[in-house]
Amino acid sequence: MSVDQVAVLGVGMHPWGKWGRNFVEYGVAAAQDALTDAGIDWRDVGFVAGADTMRNGYPGYVAGATFAQALGWTGIPVTSAYGACASGAMALDAARQRILSGMCEVALVVGADTTPKGFLKPNKGERGDDPDWLRFRLLGMTNPAYFAMWARRRIDLFGASSDDFAQVKIKNARHGLNNPYARYRKEVTAEAIAASPTVSSPLRLLDICATSDGGAAVVLTSMDYARKHLSSSAGSADPLVKVAAISTVTPTFPNTILEMPNFATDSAAGISRPDRGFKQAIGDSAYAQAGLGPDDVDVAEVYDLSTALELDWYEDLGFCGVGEAEKILRDGVTTLGGRLPVNLSGGLACFGEAVPAQALAQVCELTWQLRGTAKGAQAENAKVGITANQGLFGHGSSVILTR
Amino acid sequence: MSKAKLPAVEGWFTMSPSDDTPRPVGADPVALIGTRCTESGTYFFPPERVMSRAPGFSGSELVEVELSTRGRLWSYTDAQYQPPEPFEAPTDPYEPFCLAAVELETEQLVVLGQVVAGVGIEDLVVGMEMELVLGTLYEDEDTEYTMWKWRPVAKSTAGGEA
């Protein structure tokens, strides 16, 4: 059931960091870069979609309108999407639907965030019916505690070691060394990782991504519009990168993997487990839309909230068999120069997480990889790229780009 | 005067479980309260009270059940840094604690919980048998807020297993 394509005509990012300024500023800077990259005037955009942030008050909940107002009202329709870490993919999908349904030709998608220092935490107030509030109150289950639970499974089931996890960080740190948008641009040694304090066993501070400020934006257009636009030679979209898939799937009952922010998994006592788990279904849905499979992928950006989680994604996206992720990492398959480099941007290890911008940042990076214009680590002759992430409360996010 | 004991969350566990629930040695009894979808046979925890979440069984009756108080350790970790609000640290200065995800065989689900104080990461192994005990989440001047916690069965005082 492959789906019609739309074009990625422009991408832009505001550098990640801990700038402490208003998130709107990052989003606007990213949007302007994306419009310039596309060679499109804001007044020619027919639809704007914002990926929401929950940490910056009302303007964050209505991010689409916030960015539209900041760029200058033009009367176009708007949407704002929230799916936690998957927000960017949801906003992107809304833009794609507008274009594929013929309701507009050019859409702008923007996500940006300003994050506080330390653990991400729920909004204030007594909210005894909110599982995200209750997991902190009743358990003290932070996000890293969930990451650690999954990491421990790799150790127990597959014999993974802390050094395997460290190798993910070392690889991503090298990849991100020259990425001007990355917050951390420094080599990291195994010794430094081993010497960093344990946050939630087995994960140490340097296994877990930071939280950052940042912004990313994407200009999507119809294929017809892109071809006409490029023949008039505006913009820098050469070769033209296309969106072949956007997966925003939810889990299938019973979801028997412990998910953030839940207290328990679904029960498999009455209804048998689906053949493929939720994280696998995220990639499966993207592959099906694109009419492609894992063997076709040349480059990937996956959500390394923790080092160990990057390894889970290798298996969930079908880059290797279950339990083989450590081996393909050690063999250099996922390093620059390998068969399938993963997180050439440096990943969250180098960026830190700016939640609503992150899924879009993955798309920006893959666009540069496919064009061959990445400013940092550049894959050789990549034609197909896939992103993957997951937002808490059951949000899948995967985008496949081709050229 | 002893403090009043109040559950830290309403309706998710009982401090007076049924008589056939195994009694943990040296700890007050406790059982998690779930619901069971009578037609599909699936369980829900925290208890689903509105309708069954099993697709196709929305009309099925939900009955309240006590969940198994023993299971196998699915995974575990600890909290070396004090979790942010609304977490209430029971001690000052903060003392790290372990967290366990325990798989219940009958219900075929995994339930999280804090591990009782005094158990460290080095005491835990995936697959080991764990049991539910009543613990204190935090206290104020006149109330002790209780919460279910997990502990390794091997950690129990020897003998007298009910």
CA atoms within 13 A on the CB side of A351: 33
Percent of all residues in chain B with a pLDDT value above 90, rounded to a whole number: 81
| Any domain includes A322 | yes
Do residues A298 and A382 make contact, with C-beta atoms less than 8 angstroms apart?
yes
Which candidate from A121, A156, A267 shows the least CB-CB separation from B42?
A267
Give the separation between CA A270 and CA A383, rounded to whole angstroms.
Answer: 44
Q: Report the pLDDT value the prediction gives residue B1, as an integer from 0 to 100.
A: 62
Same domain, A218 and A298: no
Residues A227 and A294 occupy one common structural domain: no
Decide if A137 touches B, using CB distance below 8 A.
Answer: yes
Question: Mind spelling out the 3-state secondary structure of chain A?
Answer: CCCCCEEEEEEEEEEEECCCCCHHHHHHHHHHHHHHHHCCCHHHCCEEEEECCCCCHHHHHCHHHHHHHHHCCCCCCEEEECECECHHHHHHHHHHHHHHCCCCCEEEEEEEECCCCCCCCCCCCCCCCCHHHHHHHHHCCCHHHHHHHHHHHHHHHHCCCHHHHHHHHHHHHHHCCCCCCCCCCCCCCHHHHHHCCEEECCEEHHHECCECEEEEEEEEECHHHHHHHHHCCCCCCCCCEEEEEEECCCCCCCCCCCCCCCCECCCCCCCCCCCCCHHHHHHHHHHHHHCCCHHHCCEEEECCCEHHHHHHHHHHCCCCCCCCHHHHHHCCCCCCCCCCCECCCCHHHHHCECHHHHHHHHHHHHHHHHHCCCCCCCCCCCCEEEEEEEECCCEEEEEEEEC
* Domain limit, last residue, from A225, A241, A257: A241
Q: How far apart are CA A211 and CA B65, in angstroms?
A: 41
Identify the burial level of B18 via C-beta atoms within 10 angstroms of its C-beta, where 0-12 means exposed, 13-18 middle and 19 or more buried: exposed
Enumerate the residues of chain B whose CB falls inside 8 A of the CB of residue A148: 77-78
Residue A187 is assigned to a structural domain of this protein: yes
Indicate if A145 and A66 belong to the same structural domain: no
pLDDT band (50, 70, 90) for residue B67: very high
Specify whether A161 is located in the same domain as A83. no
- Quote the mean pLDDT of chain A: 96
Residue B54 lies in a domain: yes
Chain B residue numbers touching A141 (CB-CB < 8 A): 83, 99, 112
pLDDT in tens, B3-54: 899 999 999 999 999 988 888 888 889 999 999 999 999 999 999 999 999 9
Residue B71 lies in a domain: yes
Are the C-beta atoms of residues A370 and A239 closer than 8 Å to each other?
A: yes
* Cβ separation B110–A258 shorter than 8 A: yes
Put simply, the answer to whether B77 touches A263 (Cβ < 8 Å) is no
- A3: exposed, middle or buried (Cβ count in 10 Å: 0-12, 13-18, 19+): middle
From the DSSP assignment, how many helices (H) and strands (E) are in chain B?
0, 10
Q: Write the DSSP symbol of residue B100.
A: E
B72 domain residue, yes or no = yes
* Residue A158 lies in domain: 131-207+243-402
Is A139 in Cβ contact with B99 (below 8 Å)?
Answer: yes
CA dist A284 and A274 (Å) reads 13
In a domain, A165, yes or no: yes
Which residue in chain B is spatially nearest to A273 when comparing CA positions?
Answer: B108
Is B132 within the bounds of a domain?
Answer: yes
Q: Do residue A308 and residue A287 come from a single domain?
A: yes
Q: What is the ipTM of this complex?
A: 0.94
Tell me what pLDDT residue A318 has.
98
Quote the CA–CA distance of B153 and B142 in Å, as a whole number.
31
**In this complex, which of B53, B77, B81 lies closest to A152 when CB atoms are compared?**
B77
A129 reaches B (C-beta below 8 A): no
Contact list in B for residue A131 (CB cut-off 8 A) is: 46
C-alpha pair distances (Å), A285 with each of A2, A35, A140, A246, A391 = 10, 30, 34, 8, 16
Average pLDDT per run of 10 along chain A, which is 403 residues long? 90 97 98 97 98 95 98 98 97 98 98 87 81 95 97 96 98 98 97 97 97 97 95 76 98 95 97 94 98 98 98 98 98 98 98 97 98 97 97 95 97
Cα dist from A104 to A23, A321, B104, B127, whole Å: 27, 42, 52, 55
For residue B159, being part of any structural domain is answered with: no
Chain A residue with CA closest to B138: the answer is A138
Domain total of chain A = 2
- The CATH number of the domain holding residue A397 is 3.40.47.10
Q: Is residue A126 assigned to a domain?
A: no
Q: Do A136 and B81 touch (CB under 8 A)?
A: no
When CB atoms are compared, the residue of B37, B74, B113 closest to A139 is: B113
- Same domain, yes or no: A217 and A290: no
Q: Into how many domains does chain B fold? A: 1
B42 within domain boundaries: yes
Distance of alpha carbon B69 from alpha carbon A93, whole angstroms: 44
Q: pLDDT at position A144, please?
A: 97
Looking at residue B101, the DSSP 8-state letter turns out to be E
Same-domain status, A264 and A371: yes
Residues of A in contact with B8 (CB under 8 A): 137-138
Same domain membership, residue A227 and residue A147: no
Q: Is residue A65 part of a domain?
A: yes
Contact A245, A400 (CB under 8 A): yes
* Amino acid found at B6: L
8 Å CB contact of A269 and B99: no
- Residue B161 covered by a domain: no
pLDDT higher at A153 or B155: A153
Q: Give residue-wise pLDDT tens across range A182-237.
A: 999 999 999 999 999 999 999 999 999 999 999 999 999 999 999 999 988 666 66
Mean predicted confidence (pLDDT) in B88-103: 95
Phi, psi of A215 (to 5 degrees): -150, 145
Q: CB burial class (10 A; 0-12, 13-18, 19+) of residue A358?
A: buried
Q: Which domain holds residue B143?
A: 4-154
Facing residue for B42 by CB, picked from A136, A150, A269: A269
Name the band, by pLDDT with cuts 50, 70 and 90, for residue B159.
very low
B99 contacts A140? CB cut-off 8 A: yes
pLDDT of residue A152: 97
Domain membership flag for residue B133: yes
Question: How many other CB atoms sit within 10 Å of the CB of residue A265?
Answer: 22
CA dist A192 and B35 (Å) reads 48
Residues A237, A248: one domain?
Answer: no
pTM over 0.90: yes
Tell me the longest C-alpha to C-alpha distance in chain B: 53
Assess contact for B121 and B100: CB atoms under 8 A. Answer: no
Look at residue A235 in the predicted model and tell me its pLDDT: 63
Beta bridge partners of A110: A50, A217
Residues A223 and A310 in one domain: no
**Which residues does residue B6 pair with via DSSP β-bridges, in sequence order?**
B145
Residue A122, both tokens: 């729920």
pLDDT at site B99: 98
3-state secondary structure of B30: coil
In the numeric block, which tokens belong to residue A361? Answer: 């940042």
Which pLDDT score, from 0 to 100, does residue A181 have?
Answer: 98
Is pLDDT above 60 for B158? no
Q: Are A156 and B85 within 8 A, CB to CB?
A: no
Sorting pLDDT into bands at 50, 70 and 90, what band is B161?
A: very low
How is the beta sheet containing A395-402 ordered, strand by strand?
A: A78-81, A47-51, A106-113, A213-221, A6-17, A241-247, A395-402, A384-391, A299-302
Query: Is there a contact between B40 and A270 if contact means CB atoms under 8 Å apart?
Result: yes
Our CA-based measurement puts residue A193 at a distance from the nearest CA of chain B, in whole angstroms, of 16
- Asked whether residue A232 falls in the same domain as residue A370, the answer is no
Q: Are A234 and A269 members of one domain?
A: no
